[in-house]
Amino acid sequence: EDQVTQSPEALRLQEGESSSLNCSYTVSGLRGLFWYRQDPGKGPEFLFTLYSAGEEKEKERLKATLTKKESFLHITAPKPEDSATYLCAVQALATGTASKLTFGTGTRLQVTL
Amino acid sequence: DAGVIQSPRHEVTEMGQEVTLRCKPISGHDYLFWYRQTMMRGLELLIYFNNNVPIDDSGMPEDRFSAKMPNASFSTLKIQPSEPRDSAVYFCASRRGRGGEKLFFGSGTQLSVL
């Protein structure tokens, strides 16, 4: 069974204080790893897809990286508007249910002034 | 584009009552997904459709849950009878094609079963 574990559960940063969120995964064969952002009272919003170890993607202050066992979401010089829950999900290669995403429980990030 | 539209936004009901959640996917999207989100278990896939046909319902908790997609622009998730442990946020999501990325989520329905 595919599993995704995110850490820490919650993270509080001061504005400008860089940090990283971790996503560890177990999957029979990885088709893709996804990062989503979720604001309170809203549905998740797509950020990145990573397909192979060594791949990196960037968007503004966020950079996602991937190894064979985990992914990191690096946040550089965060601002209060980066406060949200960040979700990681994996999609397996195998089976006819190739569309299924397995999500972690997320990291709640709070960035203060 | 209006995005994925879910209704109602909030639903409070008593144990044993029937609950119907509704979803309108983005026009042109041929995949539709129903997820449930709780603090303990995170986002769990309940069922998904491709071209209005249910493909995988292995995540549906039990027979009390049912989902339909009568046409490309409408889907329902029904719980009958509802129980307090069904309390959660239910999300509908849609996308185009077989690729896994860029699922577009609705704003969810917050369900409370008393």
A44: nearest CA partner in chain B: B105
Q: Best of A100, A107, A108 to disrupt the B interface by mutation (most B CBs within 10 Å)?
A: A100
Judge: B91–A43 Cβ closer than 8 Å, yes or no. Answer: yes
| Per-residue pLDDT at B102 | 84
B107 CA to chain A: closest CA distance, Å? 5
For the stretch B52-108, pLDDT in tens is 999 989 999 889 999 999 999 999 999 999 999 999 999 999 998 765 568 999 999
Q: Could you tell me if B31 and B94 are in contact, meaning their C-beta atoms sit under 8 angstroms apart?
A: yes
Q: Is the pLDDT of residue B3 over 60?
A: yes
Q: Could you tell me if A78 and A15 are in contact, meaning their C-beta atoms sit under 8 angstroms apart?
A: yes
Percentages helix, strand, coil for chain B, rounded to the nearest 5?
Answer: 5, 55, 45
Q: Is the dihedral of CA B59, B14, B22, B68 positive or negative?
A: positive
Reduced to 3 states (helix: H, G, I; strand: E, B; else coil), residue A113 is: coil
Judge: A42–B48 Cβ closer than 8 Å, yes or no. Answer: no
B49: nearest CA partner in chain A: A99
Pairwise CA distance, residues B60 & B66, whole Å = 8
Burial label, A24 (beta-carbon count in 10 A; 0-12, 13-18, 19+): middle
Q: Could you tell me if B79 and B24 are in contact, meaning their C-beta atoms sit under 8 angstroms apart?
A: no
A-chain CB neighbours of B31 within 8 Å are 99
Ranges of chain A with pLDDT below 50: none
Residue B25 has what DSSP assignment?
A: P
| Per-residue pLDDT at A95 | 57
Query: Beta strands of B26-99 (E only): which ranges?
Result: 31-38, 42-50, 53-56, 65-71, 74-79, 88-95
Pairwise CA distance, residues A12 & A21, whole Å = 12
Q: Count A/B contacts: CB-CB distance under 8 Å.
A: 63
Judge: A46–B39 Cβ closer than 8 Å, yes or no. Answer: no
Q: Is the pLDDT of residue B18 over 70?
A: yes
| Per-residue pLDDT at B89 | 98
Q: Could you tell me if A64 and A20 are in contact, meaning their C-beta atoms sit under 8 angstroms apart?
A: no
| Per-residue pLDDT at A98 | 55
| Per-residue pLDDT at A69 | 94
Comparing C-alpha atoms, which of B65, B28, B17 is closest to residue B45? B65
B113 CA to chain A: closest CA distance, Å? 19
CA distances from A105 to A24, A61, A63 (A): 12, 22, 20
| Per-residue pLDDT at A88 | 97
Judge: A101–B103 Cβ closer than 8 Å, yes or no. Answer: yes
Is A78 in the B-facing interface, judged by CB distances under 8 Å? no
Residue A105 CA from chain centroid, whole number: 10
Query: Beta strands of chain A (E only): which ranges?
Result: 3-7, 10-14, 19-26, 30-38, 45-50, 56-59, 62-66, 70-75, 84-92, 102-103, 107-112
Pairwise CA distance, residues A64 & A62, whole Å = 7
B21 CA to chain A: closest CA distance, Å? 15
Q: Which of B3-7, B32-36, B60-64 has the lowest mean pLDDT?
A: B60-64
Q: Is the pLDDT of residue B48 over 60?
A: yes
B94: nearest CA partner in chain A: A99
Comparing C-alpha atoms, which of B25, B36, B44 is closest to residue B96? B25
Judge: B56–A97 Cβ closer than 8 Å, yes or no. Answer: yes
B-chain CB neighbours of A41 within 8 Å are 107-108
Pairwise CA distance, residues B6 & B108, whole Å = 6
